[in-house]
Amino acid sequence: MNNFSFHNPTQVLFGKDTIPQIGEELAKRGHKKVLLLAGGGSIQQNGVYEHTVRSLEAAGIARAECWGVQANPVLSKVREAIALCHSEGVDAVLAVGGGSVLDSAKAVACGFYMNDVWAAFEKTEAITRALPLFTILTLSATGSEMNMFAVLTKPEEHKKWAIGHPALYPVVSIVDPSVQTSLPWRQTVCGGVDSLSHIMEFYFIGKPGDTTVAVNTAVSRTIIQSVDALQRSPEDYEARANLAWGSTLALNGISGCGLNFGEWSTHMLEHAVSAHHPQVAHAEGLAVLFPAWIEYCQASNPDTFRAWAERVWDSPTVEAGVAAFRNRLRQWEGPVRLADLGVDAAEIPAIADTAMLTQPLGSLRPLSRQDVVNILEIAAAA
Ligand code: NZQ
Ligand code: ZN
């Protein structure tokens, strides 16, 4: 096992009826006024907004609100929210929503102290501090509720880029799985696939005997079983809860202990795809690309790829494991090839050019532009 450092400062309040604790959590840390950041309105339909506001008011926490964060969130909304933070004099940010809202809130929190927040994504200005961030998660997928990363898109330049800084760990994240019952089936599947993908970004770096590989195997199987259970019964609280915590564990540091910093080239390829096609949900891009990447890169660490096929998919070979993975995606009504995403094979060269803007690309197997083209062609032909 490789050396590692593990530290995660986020307090997670997990379970049914935890949202009403948010006001008190803010008040006991001395906060007086928050920016409440939200998406397109799902939190008004499922009661999350009402519970949040009632709790803030009971604890005497004032608020300014900023709505309209979109899936694959964009820089312009973050800039708008930063300006509001200054004009309203807030002392903390409260994100209420899915990963796009949480990521935007992280960019707002650090951008508050910067001349230009996009400079953090371009790596031309360092993040030094951030407003304290609190989150109420409504879609378990990204792990953003318990990690220090954020992903943002600058659409006019086809750039979907990430930042990471310890100041971006949420102080407190509330995860009430019961509020995820209102998710459309498609988003439930996205949550499962994104979580599985985060685990896979680490898994293939390891050795079959690693403790972290064993943990990742168990969490992967639980995620798959939970999505299966939710397909049968969307109201199944235990399945929602197991998927939610599995999703948090997939990208809160636990899944990467001893596995260096992971692989991440499939995520970079997906970010290139959705930078060109903002309608592509992050996880749907991953569903199409991950099996192709595995097929292409399996020779780089064959024992571990085979262990993944055997242990996660009960399959004797990597090929059979990939086939089982794609079959499950079909069973879940998810996409399996580029055309399912509305991406034409003729766009592969342009997407590959965008992917190559991230360097280095790949650690287990560094990818050249031709490798990227080859993987995208496998994904087109699947
Ligand atoms: O906008 P609203 O109305 O809230 O609707 C959202 C949105 O349309 C809806 N939704 C969320 N919770 C709901 C709900 N609908 C009904 N009931 C609920 N309880 O779901 C839709 C998708 O939400 P979004 O936040 O975009 O999804 P997700 O959580 O999958 O976030 C995806 C973003 O996170 C980035 C992705 O690239 C993408 O931009 N990622 C962030 C990471 C991180 N911070 O560590 C890592 C990931 O790999 C990923 O890159
Ligand atoms: Zn992801």
- Label residue 142 by pLDDT band (50, 70, 90): very high
Query: Residue 199 has what pLDDT?
Result: 98
> Cα separation of 274 and 294, whole Å?
20
- Label residue 107 by pLDDT band (50, 70, 90): very high
> Cα separation of 24 and 61, whole Å?
9
- Label residue 224 by pLDDT band (50, 70, 90): very high
Q: What is the DSSP string of 248-261?
A: HHHTSSGGGTTSTT
Q: Which residue has the tokens 């009826």?
A: 17
Query: Residue 42 has what pLDDT?
Result: 98
State in Å: Cα 73 to ligand 1 middle: 9
Query: Residue 108 has what pLDDT?
Result: 98
Q: Is 138 near ligand 1, meaning CB less than 6 Å away?
A: yes
Q: Give the pLDDT mean for 170-181.
A: 98
- Label residue 2 by pLDDT band (50, 70, 90): very high
Q: Give the pLDDT mean for 165-188.
A: 98
pLDDT digit string (tens) for 302-326? 999 999 999 999 999 999 999 999 9
| Three-state secondary-structure class, residue 17 | coil
Kindly report the average pLDDT of the chain as a whole number. 97
Contact criterion met (CB below 8 Å) for 275 and 169: no
| Residues in Cβ contact with 97 at an 8 Å cutoff, skipping those fewer than 6 apart | 37, 38, 39, 42, 43, 69, 136, 137, 138, 139
Query: Residue 174 has what pLDDT?
Result: 99
Q: Which atom of ligand 1 is nearest to the CA of 101?
A: 25
- Label residue 171 by pLDDT band (50, 70, 90): very high
Q: Give the pLDDT mean for 69-81.
A: 97
Q: Give the pLDDT mean for 159-179.
A: 97
Q: Give the pLDDT mean for 8-14.
A: 98
Q: Give the pLDDT mean for 42-59.
A: 98
Contact criterion met (CB below 8 Å) for 207 and 213: yes
Q: Is 106 near ligand 1, meaning CB less than 6 Å away?
A: no
Q: Give the pLDDT mean for 239-249.
A: 98
Q: Give the pLDDT mean for 272-292.
A: 96
pLDDT digit string (tens) for 359-369? 899 999 999 99
What is the set of domains in the chain, with CATH numbers? 11-178 (3.40.50.1970), 183-381 (1.20.1090.10)
| Residues in Cβ contact with 132 at an 8 Å cutoff, skipping those fewer than 6 apart | 29, 31, 91, 92, 93, 109, 171
Query: Residue 77 has what pLDDT?
Result: 98
pLDDT digit string (tens) for 255-271? 999 999 999 999 999 99
Q: Is 183 near ligand 1, meaning CB less than 6 Å away?
A: yes
Helix axes 318-331, 302-313, angle to 10 degrees: 40
Query: Residue 148 has what pLDDT?
Result: 98
Give the range among 221-225, 318-322, 358-362, 372-376 with minimum mean pLDDT. 358-362
Q: Is 40 near ligand 1, meaning CB less than 6 Å away?
A: yes
User: Which residue CA neighbors atom 16 of ligand 1 most closely?
Assistant: 183
Query: Residue 52 has what pLDDT?
Result: 98
- Label residue 214 by pLDDT band (50, 70, 90): very high
Query: Residue 41 has what pLDDT?
Result: 96
Radius of gyration of the chain (CA): 20
Query: Residue 353 has what pLDDT?
Result: 97
- The environment of the single-atom ion ligand 2, i.e. residues with CB closer than 5 A, is 194
